Structure 1
């Protein structure tokens, strides 16, 4: 090493051997699974539906004119071949060509002529590109949100059954509450009757008719 070289230079790091840590069993297994998955993807044969989907997307992404330019053979498509025999050229627009209007004799300007000329200048030009193909994506309302389905007969029947079940549950709760309140009142009444009977016996009062204890006071 010469005295002019800097000890911080990268030359001293070029010859340094890289130390790599040994991989664990989990890392080796993950790499093996990844390699086998990639190999299966490469060797996997596509199903008929996948091939049809790819061919459909490829066909919709290119227009008839683009495919004709790539193939350099317009005779493969009968419709395009007939159009080219009639004088159609790729890149032209369909319809009568817009020629210059015939010259007219100079006359006084008229309002109808002025309106006609204004409408002529505002005429849209013929399209040179075919209209794009928009696939039908189902019935949609205003916007792209999915409309809620109108309730059918089965849904209405299910809703009515649910309402009847809820009403039955409410009536069951009311009946259970009334029965509980009645049992509670009867237990209080029996306790009161027993207390009255005991007090009368302690006071030496004899009751010839014990049915009076069973009468509910009002």
Structure 2
């Protein structure tokens, strides 16, 4: 089957409803964002730095990823990476990640940089798993991202902000991929909060500032 890639740039894309169906199937309701959050990234100032990728086979969405380029710290923040359960074990997750990483590198060069300073993403902590199955899934994700060069930011007690106003923050691992040592992880976290959670998720800046103060990132 022929696989092709498309970046969604407007909310009337014929593929966006398929993405939401796949998203709701894969992610437990307690960690899902409202669908309008995806759409928020396609409008206004956020749209300049937001990337919404879909992998398509025979007009069906088989994978997707979303990410933000953070211009003030020259970093790519990958938010979602998912593949359809019907096409797993084909390396599709790796391909989807590669396409998104390349797009973020393009964004860095377009902004006048030689390359990205870093790539960042969040993932669930193994110690927070409630079942053996959840622990196995967490370990699998850690191995996947480690294989692709991501390392846990051990100097940072990272907390994901609420996904929607009134929601609860969640301790997560912050994974980083970089060729050089970073002088400040805190700068990257602050930018993630601003471009993703304040602008797109519409979380109050006071909530984010309080979380940032408690992250204990260097």
Task: Confirm or deny a common fold (TM above 0.5).
Answer: no
Greater share of residues in helix: 1
Q: TM-score by structure 2 length? A: 0.17
Q: TM-score by structure 1 length? A: 0.17
Greater share of residues in strand: 2
> Which of structures 1 and 2 has the larger relative contact order (alpha carbons within 8 angstroms, sep 6+)?
2
Computing the radius of gyration from Cα coordinates, the structure with the larger value is 1
